[in-house]
A = this chain, B = another copy of it.
């Protein structure tokens, strides 16, 4: 059974783990909540609350065991069978995002790329096979893909998202800057670069 956790908590757990994966090798076997909090600009109380939610409490003298912490976060937020993803739209941005994910290393397995360009279909990109978008439905089913990263041109965004959802995709990371009207059972996250830059522009001081 999966724990019920707020999105912000999951986000922070993911960040704790990424920090600690680097930390593990070179430093102590234990870490204090205030140390972890300091690295992420949080309060120690926030960190302790998050870790309490996944069943961990620190030792007063030594803090949290780093290895145990990383394991418990994994047990909580990862799928046992691993997470299978598709990247949809192999333009420059798609290619770069794919390369970034491969280089970062994580539990995210991009197992398929989709495009409509026949020069790209049937090639390997960063070791991942590129399929024709027309074949999305059977391949997404066969490969048990749950998440799509959407990097198609804006004109294609709405139709492609509809096709992906019909093919069984449950979550979308949307880079297209196009608003997608998805059913409530689909988990959508938008990376809207222009809107984010306009937001930054508004809030910075002159």
Contacts and interface: CB of A to CB of B under 8 A. Distances in A.
Given A93-B96, A106-B198, A191-B191, A10 B173 contact: no
A199 B192 CA distance: 17
Given A101-B193, A195-B14, A195-B18, A41 B200 contact: no
A51 to B, nearest CB: 16
Nearest to A198: B14
Contacts of A99: 92-93
B147 A41 contact: no
A194 B39 contact: no
Interface residues of A, number: 59
Q: How many chain copies?
A: 2
A181 B202 CA distance: 21
Given A77-B202, A185-B205, A197 B93 contact: no
Contacts of A177: 18, 104
Contacts of A96: 91-93, 95-97
Interface of A: 2, 5, 7, 10-11, 14-15, 18-19, 39-41, 77-79, 83, 85, 91-93, 95-97, 99-101, 104, 106-108, 146-147, 149, 154, 170-173, 177, 179, 181, 185, 187, 189, 191-205
